[in-house]
A and B are shown apart, each in its own frame.
Chain A
Amino acid sequence: MLDKNGIAKRIANEIKNGYYVNLGIGIPTLVVNFIPNDIEVEFQSENGILGMGPFPFEGLEDADLINAGKQTITALDGASYFDSAMSFSMIRGKHVNLTILGAMEVSETGDIANWKIPGYMVKGMGGAMDLVASADNIIVAMMHTNKRGDSKLLKKCNLPLTGVGCVKKIVTNLAVLEVVNAGFKLLERAPGVSIELIKESTDGALIIESEVPEMIL
């Protein structure tokens, strides 16, 4: 079974040389720490930077330089700044190659819910609806079950949706799954995780076509 860093490490393997990548908050943020050295990637933050660098050292923080999570950041050589409309032109126009974001629920048809829990304070969708509606390549990073132990991979989402039919791949603490026509196709198991455990933890249709290998991390 993986921890959050393990999920991030597995997702880092999906990033190819030359990619422009948008990372959501939570587990996706950790992916930065696992990018192989021989790969060139530019991170986009939707508040208006391409070429986002690491957090600044103390004393070098700049109130005019933050990421979409409102954290202080730095800009790498070759970075650029732009306005919000242009930022979403990059996203809606499919110029960003990969979007990695967290989710509360994903359905077997690729619907995603990650912005609102009825009865709780609603903070808003931020850029999530634009990102999921537009990107061709979306990976969801999340735990397979919620804090109560209920599956987050469902036949149908119970929570208000962020987008419909948009998720292609899911990396959880238990498995890597692909959303296909008939449901969640199991591609890989996390180290030490049995197919039985994945079956028990998945409410939506789970498709197991052949031998399911362990992830290579």
Chain B
Amino acid sequence: MVNKKVNSIQEALNGVYDGMTLILGGFGLCGIPENAISELVRLGIKDLTCISNNAGVDDFGLGLLLKKRQVKKMISSYVGENDEFERQMLSGELDVELIPQGTLAERCRAAQAGIPAFFTPAGFGTEVAVGKETRQFDGKTYILEKAFKADFSFIKAWRGDTAGNLIFKGTARNFNPNMCGAATITVAEVEELVPAGELDPNQIHIPGIFVQRITKGINYEKRIEKLTLRTRS
């Protein structure tokens, strides 16, 4: 087996520089690569373009990178939960490109699959379609969207093995599988890292071929953004 294991998140982020384009997994704060984000903050790498569905909250997730002004541009579908983000966006310090959520997922998947572009109906007739090529199929109009091009993908999975195979848990799966192999280098951090052979091949969500580096993450906070409970009656 090809060994993808690296011993620390520091080693996993080797080769990340100022000005790079990064893809980061997660939906809200669920399934975000907490260790990679912490290390990006520690390294102080700047002028980043970050592709991620959301932008974290003020003191967690991608909000930590925004607070340190390390992000030049965000490409997301929904960014509502972050005051510092709002301030930087309104003052023009931060460039923001909002794109439909399904388009974001498919642009990752297309990059992973070697498909340069695809047609989608999402956004036709709206400002999202401005400047984009359109085409009709069976009487309906679609817009052409391109695959992302990125330097690093940062993925959070539940379990992984030294061959880079990944298993996700619950809705922490979200964009993570689509982002594997969507950048030049994919770094996966996992809660549990086992030797190759210990995961059942039938249960693997993402084969190790899409992952270049895998490391065991530490100190997961897994913050809940909106704790919502049912009352016992």
Are A and B genuine complex partners?
A: yes
Give Cα distance in the complex from A153 to B72, angstroms: 39
Known contacts A64-B30, A125-B77: does B169 contact A130 (CB below 8 Å)?
no
Say whether B120 faces chain A, with CB atoms less than 8 Å apart.
yes
On chain A, the number of residues with a Cβ less than 8 Å from chain B's Cβ atoms is: 52
Q: Are B100 and A72 in contact (CB under 8 A)?
A: no
Report A120-144 CB contacts with B as 1/0, cut-off 8 Å: 0111111111100110000000000
CB-CB under 8 A from B79, the residues of chain A are: 123-124
Say whether A85 faces chain B, with CB atoms less than 8 Å apart.
yes
Say whether B76 faces chain A, with CB atoms less than 8 Å apart.
yes
Q: Are A63 and B123 in contact (CB under 8 A)?
A: no
Interface centre among A48, A65, A71, A160 (most CB of B within 10 A): A48
Closest chain B residue, CB of each to CB of A74: B230
Say whether B148 faces chain A, with CB atoms less than 8 Å apart.
no
Q: Are A160 and B126 in contact (CB under 8 A)?
A: yes
A164 partner, pick from B124, B172, B205, beta carbons under 8 A: B124
Interface centre among A49, A68, A70, A84 (most CB of B within 10 A): A84
Q: Are B98 and A124 in contact (CB under 8 A)?
A: yes
Closest chain B residue, CB of each to CB of A68: B27
A91 partner, pick from B81, B102, B228, beta carbons under 8 A: B102
Q: Is the interface of A mostly helix, strand, loop or mixed?
A: loop
Report A95-139 CB contacts with B as 1/0, cut-off 8 Å: 000000000000000010000000001111111111001100000
The smallest beta-carbon distance between A171 and chain B, in angstroms, is: 24
Closest chain B residue, CB of each to CB of A52: B171
Q: Are B171 and A133 in contact (CB under 8 A)?
A: no
Give Cα distance in the complex from A66 to B227, angstroms: 9
Give Cα distance in the complex from A134 to B229, angstroms: 32
A130 partner, pick from B30, B81, B122, B127, beta carbons under 8 A: B122
Q: Are A127 and B224 in contact (CB under 8 A)?
A: no
Report B194-233 CB contacts with A as 1/0, cut-off 8 Å: 0000000000010000000000000000111111111010
Instruction: Name B101-154 residues within 8 Å CB distance of A.
Output: 101-106, 108-109, 120-128
The smallest beta-carbon distance between A212 and chain B, in angstroms, is: 31
CB-CB under 8 A from B123, the residues of chain A are: 125, 129, 133
Q: Are A130 and B222 in contact (CB under 8 A)?
A: no
A48 partner, pick from B122, B173, B232, beta carbons under 8 A: B173
Q: Are B170 and A47 in contact (CB under 8 A)?
A: no
Known contacts A82-B173, A126-B77: does B120 contact A163 (CB below 8 Å)?
no
CB-CB under 8 A from A124, the residues of chain B are: 76-80, 98
Say whether B63 faces chain A, with CB atoms less than 8 Å apart.
no
Say whether B160 faces chain A, with CB atoms less than 8 Å apart.
no
Give Cα distance in the complex from A61 to B171, angstroms: 13
Say whether B165 faces chain A, with CB atoms less than 8 Å apart.
no
Report A3-27 CB contacts with B as 1/0, cut-off 8 Å: 0000000000000000000000000
Known: A83-B173, A87-B105, A124-B76. 15 other contacts (CB 8 A): A47-B171, A56-B230, A63-B29, A64-B172, A71-B226, A72-B226, A83-B105, A83-B176, A87-B102, A125-B77, A125-B99, A125-B123, A127-B77, A162-B126, A163-B126
What are 7 of the A-B contact pairs (CB < 8 Å)? A56-B229, A83-B174, A85-B177, A85-B178, A92-B102, A126-B78, A163-B124
Chain A contact residues, CB within 8 Å of chain B: 45-49, 54-58, 61-73, 75, 81-85, 87-88, 91-92, 111, 121-130, 133-134, 160-165
Chain B contact residues, CB within 8 Å of chain A: 27-31, 53, 76-81, 86, 89-90, 98-106, 108-109, 120-128, 158, 168-178, 205, 222-230, 232
